[in-house]
Amino acid sequence: MYIVHPDETYGRPSAATIGFFDGVHRGHHHLFGQLRKAAAARGLDTLAVTFGEHPRQTLAADYRPHLLTTKDEKLALLDKEELDACAVLRFDKELAALTAREFMERYLRDRLGVRCLVIGYDHHFGSSRGEGFVQYAAYGRELGIDVVRATALEWGGVTVSSSAVRRFLSAGNVEMARVCLGRAYELTGTVVHGREVGRSLGYPTANLRPDSADKMLPAAGVYAARIEPAEDGSGLPAEGVRAMVNVGCRPTIDDGEELTIEAHLFDFAGDLYGRRLRLLFERRLREERRFPSLDALRRQLDTDAARTLELTAP
């Protein structure tokens, strides 16, 4: 997939679709399938048009997104969608001020060679937020762009969208998040030093500091997961190992204010400090709660560990 950077043009006539594409989930895959079909019928290239930063960060400086994928993760996933190119635009105040028609003319037609635009079922763009498919189709007729409306994807009784994935993660429902994504939700970060209380309980943990502060965390709780190496030299097998993960503030041990991500790895005892790991959430075991004593916490960890091994058995 060819990457068209913000100040570049794309010289080949194309069929395009626009979106932030956070998560690159099954709904996006469904959209790209419709894009490929429209492009093939017209003899055009396929082009995804996206943005390097979340549009709301430009419109509201204090907005902090809860991203499902970082920019690099998103581009890596888009690369698997069998598209010819991806244009990564810079969403600045100048672009935000453009009307839909101006955007279609200046960016889509003149800069990117778009001849067919496949619009997501609920997608809107341009400074005139009240406009929609009817107006886009009319502008397209004026500009020589064939505008096509895409259909939504329903999976498991849910209309698949980035918002739906976030709702599931907010509730700790990583199973349904996986249904929508088509893969386990993942988080990449570096192992840092912690207080090593887990070691005294018989469950030493790797404390993960996420690469991106904007990456969304699932709800506080204990999860069955897998840990894979995100770089060479960690000592972990390429296929990863099973892990029991706590996301939360450790109310039994701490004052309940510092958020941590702690993973106890099964069948691995190497030194991981400073290593980058990829955490894949498989199942939620329980919510986080305060225990009356460390002994009570240890007994619960024994139960959680047995359940993790059961749920993640090969």
- Domain assignment present for residue 173? The answer is no
**CA 251/CA 259 separation, integer angstroms:** 10
- Domain assignment present for residue 105? The answer is yes
Q: Span 240-267, mean pLDDT?
A: 86
Domain limits at 201? 184-311
- Domain assignment present for residue 162? The answer is no
For the chain, percent of residues with pLDDT exceeding 90:
71
pTM of the model: 0.91
- Domain assignment present for residue 166? The answer is no
* Beta-carbon count within 10 A of 109 CB: 18
Q: Give residue 197's pLDDT.
A: 66
- Same-domain pairing of 103 and 20: yes
pLDDT tens-digit profile of 257-302?
778 999 999 988 888 999 999 999 999 999 998 888 889 999 999 9
pLDDT at position 255 over 70: no
Q: Give residue 270's pLDDT.
A: 83
- Same-domain pairing of 124 and 241: no
Tracing tokens 């041990």 back to the chain, one arrives at: 253
- Same-domain pairing of 125 and 211: no
Domain of residue 21, CATH code: 3.40.50.620
Domain of residue 268, CATH code: 2.40.30.30
Q: How large is the greatest C-alpha to C-alpha distance in the chain, in angstroms?
A: 73
- Same-domain pairing of 151 and 241: no
**CA 224/CA 201 separation, integer angstroms:** 18
Domain count, the chain: 2
pLDDT at position 129 over 90: no
- Domain assignment present for residue 244? The answer is yes
Boundary of a domain, candidates 155, 172, 199: 155
pLDDT at position 131 over 90: no
pLDDT at position 53 over 90: no
